[in-house]
Amino acid sequence: MRLGPTSLSMLAVAIAAAASPALAQGEVNVYSYREQKLIQPLFDAFTKDTGIKVNVISASSGLEQRIKTEGANSPADVLLTVDVARLQEAIDQGVTQKIESATLEKAVPKAYHGPDGAWYGISMRARVVYVSKDRVKQDAITYEELADPKWKGKICIRSGQHMYNNALFAAYHAKYGEAKTEEWLKGLKANLAQKPSGGDRETARDIAAGKCDIGIANTYYWALMQDKETDRKPWAEAT
């Protein structure tokens, strides 16, 4: 795995629009897209510091729709997302409200404040370039370089419609504008070794299998395959 410029996907917090009595009772209800076991230490520390109990509902999808369906009776106080795309979906569906918090204002850098207090980014993850250790000798590859014709037939990627790639493409657009982004995407597409498919793990798998030499994936998938998903460790070791 070689790190290029970083595309940041935010773990962000928004306040659910429905008013819940839980906080007044010394509890807070969190609807979360993060697995509870991964963020439980954060909640435990919060409870230890404040005495407020954290009730968590975790899901991989559909929390915005759930809050919307529950309406004014929703118990949700906080929506914790894993990606800016889901966060925007929640805002678009009208299930959040403005956050007014002096603590967040002070603790979170201005660059990670949503417009008009809509949300705050509290952690980030990187979307980076995976490469074959055996076949790619270049030490670092930038996003821009992925459109270079020298990589024709060398790149694998999951669907361009997936939110992880949407965030990357949006970041590129924000930096370079529409015309350069369109040119870059055309170059990237021309360099694909195969039709986009699978997920980030499968990108590493296909690099290990020699189907391509380069891929784009989030860093933590590499760590999971390397440390915990032993059957997939050879995929990580090849990149």
Is the model more confident about 179 or about 78? 179
When pLDDT is averaged across residues 144-171 and rounded to a whole number, the result is 93
Q: Which of 24-38, 55-69, 81-95, 177-191: highest mean pLDDT? A: 177-191
- Domains detected in the chain: 8-124 (3.40.190.10), 132-237 (3.40.190.10)
pLDDT above 70 for 195: yes
Integer CA distances (angstroms), 194 to 156, 189, 205, in order: 7, 10, 13
pLDDT above 70 for 31: yes
pLDDT for the residue numbered 129: 95
Q: Work out the percent of the chain whose per-residue pLDDT is above 90.
A: 46
When pLDDT is averaged across residues 116-121 and rounded to a whole number, the result is 85
pLDDT, mean over the chain:
87
Over residues 201-231, the pLDDT tens digits come to 999 999 999 999 999 999 989 988 988 888 9
pLDDT above 80 for 118: yes
pLDDT for the residue numbered 66: 92
pLDDT for the residue numbered 2: 45
pLDDT above 70 for 73: yes
pLDDT above 70 for 1: no
pLDDT above 70 for 3: no
Q: What is the β-pairing status of strands 53-58 and 27-32?
A: parallel
- Strand partners for 2: 129
Lowest mean pLDDT among 154-158, 165-169, 213-217: 165-169
pLDDT above 90 for 124: no
Residue 43's nearest CA partner among 29, 62, 60 is 29
Other residues' Cβ atoms within 10 Å of the Cβ of residue 51: 8
pLDDT above 60 for 11: no
Instruction: Give dist(CA 31, CA 16) in Å, integer.
Output: 9
* This prediction's pTM: 0.75
Integer CA distances (angstroms), 71 to 20, 59, 90, 96, in order: 11, 18, 13, 11
When pLDDT is averaged across residues 155-182 and rounded to a whole number, the result is 93
pLDDT above 60 for 98: yes
